[in-house]
Amino acid sequence: MHRAGDRAGLPQPGLEQIMGFVLSGADAPTKPSPFGKLLDDPLMSEGTLALWDPRHHLCAFTGVPIQSQVIGNAAKNQAAIVLGLDASLLDFTASVTVTGTTEIKIERSGKGGLHTILSQVNETVSNNKCVFNGPSALRDYLFNLVPSGAVGICIWQRVTRSAIAAGPSASTTHLVSSSSGNVFLWAAPGGSLNGASPLGTFSANSAEGARFNTIGINAWSGTKPGSSNSTGLQIGGSPGGVTGNANNNKKSSNILYRVQIEDLTKSKRSNSGFGGTVTEEYNAFQAAMYAQFQKEFAAGGAFYGDTFTDPATFP
């Protein structure tokens, strides 16, 4: 594996072979991770399996997602190493359910985030949503990581309109849930992430309604579903209504900026890059993600001062 500063030994010019993958110059990793390893994003680790961030060239698309649209997974090259698959098979696919023009509005914010405005007057159905579904191989891998291993998830959001206080704390952004009540990971609207037997959770609010959430999970709540396909496993998505009728006209509106998911048994963030227990790995993951979040949402940061439709104009 080449480390930063070792590029002189790579073929110049032309294609570069990095970690077993031949990459074109446009896609070749150019930013070293904190451990000096060439990865596709400076916040990634060896265990990163999924990453969506609108700033990343491997995630870029214009407009709003449409049904069955391929959405880039910026971690696909690293995930391919972990899963032993071709990276081209590890992007996301959009699943978009919009039943009318007055119940849900999906837009891109000025900074590229995915803004989902849910009506608190006209949302009369429970399945208006926009999610990024992972390929079956990635869904199965994540599904089987628990309880045999552990997974870490980080979500950066901005709440643009709060949920109605009397409403239940239902999921608007989640990784795995099922109709039988099994929950692997879910995020209450504008609140903290919740899961089964967490290694740790951390939530923080910053200026302008920004929300930071991380969680480490190594167990299921209740009985584990029989397969990943039966759970509606989703590895990312803009916050949307996927809950029951009790939450109609009560949910928050949110902008999704970043979702990152890691195999904590392979991430090697702790102990100066040598790795440690899954709890140590979760703590290192959380610290790295939060430090960058604070920079990105502070004055001068990439997501500071974002612009978007005022949800009050979409009652």
pLDDT in tens, 147-177: 899 999 999 999 898 888 765 555 556 666 6
Span 213-218, mean pLDDT? 89
Span 265-274, mean pLDDT? 95
186 phi, psi to nearest 5 deg: -150, 155
The neighbour count for residue 97, using CB atoms within 10 Å, is 15
**SS3 sequence, the chain?**
CCECCCHHHCCCCCCEEECCEEECCCCCCCEECCCCEEECCCCCCCCEEEEECCCCCCCCCCCCCCCCCEECCCCHHHHHHHHCCCHHHCCEEEEEECCCCCCEEEEECCCCCEEEEECCCCCCCCCCEEEEECCHHHHHHHHHHCCCCCEEEEEEEEEEECCCCCCCCCCCEEEEECCCCCEEEEECCCCCEEECCEEEEEEEECHHHEEEEEEEECCCCCCCCCCCHHHCCCCEEECCCCCCHHHCCCCCEEEEEEEEEEECCCCCCCHHHCCCCHHHHHHHHHHHHHHHHHHHHCCCCCCCCCCCCCHHHCC
Going by DSSP bridges, is the β-strand pair 173-177/21-23 parallel, antiparallel, or unpaired? Answer: unpaired
To the question of pTM greater than 0.85 for the whole model, the response is no
Instruction: Give the whole-angstrom CA distance, residue 195 versus residue 98.
Output: 28
Percent of the chain with pLDDT over 90: 42
Instruction: Give the whole-angstrom CA distance, residue 65 versus residue 74.
Output: 17
Q: Are 215 and 206 in contact (CB under 8 A)?
A: no
Sign of CA dihedral 211, 214, 220, 224: positive
Span 249-258, mean pLDDT? 87
| pLDDT value, residue 235 | 60
201's tokens: 């959770």
| pLDDT value, residue 96 | 86
The amino acid at residue 93 is T
Q: Is the pLDDT of residue 207 over 80?
A: no
Nearest partner of 211 among 303, 307, 106, judged by Cα: 303
Q: Are 265 and 47 in contact (CB under 8 A)?
A: yes
Q: Are 72 and 27 in contact (CB under 8 A)?
A: no
Give residue 132's pLDDT band: very low, low, confident or very high (50, 70, 90): confident
| pLDDT value, residue 29 | 44
Quick one: residue 142, left, alpha or beta (phi over 0 = left, psi -120 to 50 = alpha)? alpha
